[in-house]
Structure 1
Amino acid sequence: MLSSTLKFANLSLVALTLLAYLAPLVNPNAFWPLSFLGLAFPALLFAHLAFILWWVLRRHAYVFFSLACLLVGGEHWGALLRWPAKPLPPTEKSFRVVSFNMGKILMGSPEQLDRQKKRLRELFLQLGEVDILCAQECNEYMAGTLLEQEGFPHHHRFRGTAVFSRLPILEAGEIPFENSVNSAHWVDVAIQGRRVRVFNVHLQSSRISYFTWKLSKNHDLQNPETWKGLRGILARYRATARMRARQAARLRQAVENSPYPVLLCGDFNEPPNTYTYRLLSRGLQDSFRLRGGGWGSTYAGVFPFLRIDYILADTSFRVLRHRVLRRPLADHYPVIADLEFR
Structure 2
Amino acid sequence: MTDAIGSALRRLSGLRGWIAIAGFALLWTALGIDIILWLLRLSGGYSSKANLLSHFWPYLSFGGALAGLLARGMPNSLRSIPTVWLLVSLAIIHGKQIVPKADLPPPRGATVRVMTLNLGGAPGTRRRAMRYLRQRRNVDILFLQEVHGGPGFRDRSELEAALGRRFPGRAWFKGAPENRFRLGLGIMSRFPLREIRTLQLPSGKTRTGRCRQAAALTAKAWVRGRQVRLVTAHLCPPAIPWEDAWGRPVGLSLGTVADWLASLREFEYARRSQIRFLRALAEGGVEPLILAGDLNTTPASLDILELSGPLKNAYTARGMGFGFTYSLWSLGARLDHVFFSDGIAARSASIADVDISDHKPLEAVLE
Query: TM-score band, normalised by the shorter chain?
Result: 0.7 to 0.9
**1:268 corresponding residue in structure 2:** 295
Question: Relative to structure 1, is the Cα distance of residues 253 and 321 closer, same or farther in structure 2, using a 3 angstrom cutoff?
Answer: same
**1:143 corresponding residue in structure 2:** 156
Larger Rg: 2
Structure 1 length-normalised TM: 0.82
**Which structure is richer in relative contact order (CA contacts within 8 A, separation 6 or more)?**
1
Q: Deviations over 1:137-191 (max 9, x none)?
A: 1134212211211222111112312111011213222221245211102111111
Question: Is 1:95 equivalent to 2:112 in the alignment?
Answer: yes
Question: Relative to structure 1, is the Cα distance of residues 281 and 137 closer, same or farther in structure 2, using a 3 angstrom cutoff?
Answer: farther
Question: Relative to structure 1, is the Cα distance of residues 302 and 8 closer, same or farther in structure 2, using a 3 angstrom cutoff?
Answer: closer
* SS of residue matched to 2:281: helix
How many matched pairs? 322
Conserved in 2, the CA contact under 8 Å of 1:21 and 1:38?
A: no
Question: Is 1:83 equivalent to 2:99 in the alignment?
Answer: yes
Tell me whether 17-26 or 266-275 shows the greater mean CA deviation: 17-26
Conserved in 1, the CA contact under 8 Å of 2:117 and 2:293?
A: yes
**1:251 corresponding residue in structure 2:** 278
* SS of residue matched to 1:295: coil
Question: Relative to structure 1, is the Cα distance of residues 99 and 215 closer, same or farther in structure 2, using a 3 angstrom cutoff?
Answer: closer
Shift of 1:42: 3.5
Structure 2 alignment gaps of length 5 or more: 1-11, 176-183, 204-211
Q: Deviations over 1:16-38 (max 9, x none)?
A: 1111234545565xx31111211
* SS of residue matched to 2:299: coil
Conserved in 2, the CA contact under 8 Å of 1:102 and 1:136?
A: yes
**1:124 corresponding residue in structure 2:** 133
Distance in 2 between residues matched to 1:237 and 1:208, nearest whole Å: 8
Question: Relative to structure 1, is the Cα distance of residues 325 and 89 closer, same or farther in structure 2, using a 3 angstrom cutoff?
Answer: farther
**1:10 corresponding residue in structure 2:** 27
Tell me whether 285-294 or 175-184 shows the greater mean CA deviation: 175-184
Distance in 2 between residues matched to 1:56 and 1:86, nearest whole Å: 41
Conserved in 2, the CA contact under 8 Å of 1:175 and 1:184?
A: yes
Match of 1:167 among 188, 191, 196: 191
Distance in 2 between residues matched to 1:336 and 1:57, nearest whole Å: 49
Question: Relative to structure 1, is the Cα distance of residues 294 and 328 closer, same or farther in structure 2, using a 3 angstrom cutoff?
Answer: same
Match of 1:63 among 80, 86, 94: 80
Shift of 1:304: 2.5
Tell me whether 34-43 or 49-58 shows the greater mean CA deviation: 49-58
Question: Relative to structure 1, is the Cα distance of residues 145 and 87 closer, same or farther in structure 2, using a 3 angstrom cutoff?
Answer: farther
Give the aligned residue type for 1:39.
H
Structure 1 alignment gaps of length 5 or more: 219-224
* SS of residue matched to 2:227: strand
Distance in 2 between residues matched to 1:318 and 1:57, nearest whole Å: 52
Give the aligned residue type for 2:141.
I
Distance in 1 between residues matched to 2:323 and 2:100, nearest whole Å: 10
Distance in 1 between residues matched to 2:241 and 2:161, nearest whole Å: 33
Conserved in 1, the CA contact under 8 Å of 2:147 and 2:155?
A: yes
Tell me whether 61-70 or 154-163 shows the greater mean CA deviation: 61-70
Distance in 2 between residues matched to 1:308 and 1:281, nearest whole Å: 16
Distance in 1 between residues matched to 2:168 and 2:197, nearest whole Å: 18
Give the aligned residue type for 1:163.
I
Q: Deviations over 1:55-83 (max 9, x none)?
A: 7999944233221233246443347x533
**2:61 corresponding residue in structure 1:** 45
**1:155 corresponding residue in structure 2:** 170
* SS of residue matched to 2:332: coil
**1:177 corresponding residue in structure 2:** 201
**2:208 corresponding residue in structure 1:** none
Conserved in 1, the CA contact under 8 Å of 2:216 and 2:234?
A: yes
Tell me whether 81-90 or 289-298 shows the greater mean CA deviation: 81-90
* SS of residue matched to 1:300: strand
Question: Relative to structure 1, is the Cα distance of residues 188 and 9 closer, same or farther in structure 2, using a 3 angstrom cutoff?
Answer: same
Aligned Cα RMSD in Å?
A: 3.2
Match of 2:358 among 312, 331, 334: 331
Shift of 1:89: 8.6
Tell me whether 246-255 or 54-63 shows the greater mean CA deviation: 54-63
